Structures are given as C-alpha cells and as structure tokens.
Amino acid sequence: MLNSIIANGITTIGFLACIVLAVVLGIGTSLVFSYKVKHTASLALTMCILPAAIALVIMLVNGNIGAGVAVAGAFTLVRFRSVPGTAREIAAIFVDMALGLACGMGYLMLAVIFFVIISCLVFILSVTGFGDDRSGTQQLKVTIPEDLDYNELFDDIFEKYLSSCDMVKVRTTNMGTLYELTYDVVLKKNSESKNLIDEIRCRNGNLNITLGRVIDKESL
C-alpha cells in the first residue's frame, strides 16, 4: 500500500495521479496553514502549486545525481531571493516540499497519511491556542524631549497602572532632539489604558505615545 506507483517507470496514468494528488494536497495545505491567521493571496497560491512543481522536478531528476544537485542549488537561490516569512509560513513551505517529494517519487498513500497527520496537528494546536502569549504583555513606546531624564521619569505612573514594566530599548529620533523609550508592560487588573496614556502625555509634553501588543519579528 505504501509502495511507489512509479517504481517501475513513469506512465501517463502514474504521472497524472502524482500531479493531481500533489495539487489537491497543496490546496489542502494552503487551507490548513491559513486557518485563523492572516495570510497573503500570493502565499496561498504558492502553497497550492508548489507540491506539483516539486513533484515534476523530482520525476525529471530521478536517478540523476548531477541534476539533483543543480535543482538543490536552484531552490537555494529562490530561497535567498525571497522575502523572509514567519515561522508558520516557512513550516508550510517545508510541508509542501515534503508532499511534493513524496508525490514525485510515487508514494501517494504516504503523502496522504503525512498530510492527514500534519493537518490534524495544526488544527488542534490552532484551536487550543498552543504557544499563544497569555501573559497580557503589551509594548509601550513613549517619546520625550532630550532634556528630560528618562530613568525615573514615569516610575510613579507605572507603579499606579502597571503590574510589570521592563525597558527594552532607548533610541534617539528627530536628529537627536527626542528620545523614544520602549517598554514591555502588563496592565494591572481593572486599569484603563486611556488613563495611563493621559498621565504619560501630561509629562512628556504631549508627544507621541503608542501602546499595543508585542509584535515579534520572526525570521530564520
């Protein structure tokens, strides 16, 4: 049942079966990894066609070591000419490549089983919110004039509204005339973010203040 359908050579029926299944699994992978997350149309389209493209390449280079090395180099060039994605997107691409490899070698049942296992795992982890940050941490950015000492400037305000506060970055802006302070903060229970911002802007001269969720820059 897990044997390759093209072990004895590629036939028209075998080729069509491999390519059609690769497309179906690519569409399925696109739907699974797009569940409950923001995604682009270009990523969804890429995930749909990538397994079929890889399957065809594997069929063409089957048994040819030199051609296989050349294809690996081509994939490397494509990777480094692409915009880095999130860890989830990279995982989706790797799953697509694995499905394309399995289909290209004729292991259709193996590809289906792998797809079902990965889909169930992704769905369960997405529904349960596995890995979500439940600490309530937000990022606070405050701009102040350069003549203010930022070390203890907002300590009393933070003690009033925040259960935790950690300064993570200080940088100059506007040709060095302003400081931008970045904090990771957690609001106290029943504290209003508007009241926090109102008190800060009375002290920083009504300059820019930003409060929102922490955005991680995911990369390789």
DSSP letters for 155-205: HHHHHHHEEEEEEEEEEEETTTTEEEEEEEEEEPTT--HHHHHHHHHHHTT
pLDDT of amino acid 218: 42
Reported as a single tens digit per residue, the pLDDT across 101-138 is 899 889 999 999 999 999 999 999 888 877 666 567 88
Domain count, the chain: 2
* Confidence (pLDDT) at 90: 83
- Chain segment 65-93, per-residue pLDDT in tens: 566 656 655 665 555 455 556 778 888 88
Return the residue matching tokens 């590629």: 10
Are 91 and 123 part of one and the same domain? yes
- Same domain, residue pair 119 and 18: yes
Mean pLDDT of 14-21: 94
Question: Does residue 3 sit within a domain?
Answer: no
Looking at the chain, the whole-number percentage of residues with pLDDT higher than 90 is: 41
Can you give the pLDDT at residue 46? 86
Q: What is the pLDDT of residue 99?
A: 92
